[in-house]
Amino acid sequence: MNDLFGADDASTPLTPEEQRDLLPSYIATRAELNEAEQQNILAAQSWAYGLRRPDPFDEKWLKRLHRRMFEQVWSWAGRYRTTPRNIGVDPWQIAPQMRIFLDDARFWVKHATYSPDELAIRFHHRLVYIHPFANGNGRHARLAADVLIVQLGGERFDWGQATLVDAGEARSRYIQALQEADRGRIEALVRFARSGAGET
């Protein structure tokens, strides 16, 4: 299958079982996979922004968003992963951690704990930190944060004006900002989310 499932720095490795859940039989390269996923994600964006009342604080809605983003490519789209990763919580902790996270996020909104931008980026970070799905966690968390910031009256984030799918300078800055947020310093991730291609 060419470079399709080869290791790189830009994606979470899939187990052999998860790899077998690829739906389109024509996909043979990483570029074809990225293109198929991107087309699916564009359709999901139209769906998410077309809803009268998207609910990013609802666990079922977040699962449905992931399913919409990847359902034409992966049979496991929208289902929590069942295998461990080198990032994220253990599989058995995903559901309880999601409930805790969403309760926290509702509290942040109710009590205006953070500015809208910081709240949406903290939401994004916690979702990536939990890493609930087999793959697509960053893209899912970015779209969820974009939906949330629009709901809070803000503008969608720039995310470095890059797709962040392929390894490169923008993705490296994004991952560094996520790691800073893991250590309790969210500012770099907020700056990155609002940055243009050359800013931090």
* pLDDT (mean) for 15-30: 92
Q: pLDDT tens digit string along 92-129?
A: 999 999 999 999 999 999 999 999 999 999 999 999 99
Distance CA 96, CA 190 (A): 26
Whether 1 has a pLDDT exceeding 60, the answer reads no
CATH code, 26: 1.10.3290.10
Is residue 2 in a domain? no
* pLDDT (mean) for 78-87: 95
Q: pLDDT tens digit string along 166-183?
A: 668 888 999 999 999 999
Domains identified in the chain, total number = 1
Q: pLDDT tens digit string along 152-164?
A: 999 999 998 777 6
Dihedral sign for Cα 53, 60, 56, 135, please: negative
Least confident of 44-48, 87-91, 106-110, 161-165: 161-165
**Residue pair 67/141 in contact by the 8 Å Cβ criterion:** no
Is residue 137 in a domain? yes
Domain range for residue 126? 16-193
Cα angle: 154, vertex 160, 164; to 5 degrees: 115
**Residue pair 66/74 in contact by the 8 Å Cβ criterion:** no
**Catalytic machinery residues:** 131
Output the DSSP codes for the chain. -TTTT---SSSPPPPHHHHTTB--TT--SHHHHHHHHHHHHHHHHHHHHH-SS--TT-HHHHHHHHHHHHTTTBTTTTSB--S--SSS--GGGHHHHHHHHHHHHHHHHHTT-S-HHHHHHHHHHHHHHH--BSS-HHHHHHHHHHHHHHHTT-PPP-GGGS---SSSHHHHHHHHHHHHHHTT--HHHHHHHT--TT--
Is residue 73 in a domain? yes
Is residue 21 in a domain? yes
Is residue 71 in a domain? yes
Is residue 140 in a domain? yes
**Residue pair 121/186 in contact by the 8 Å Cβ criterion:** yes
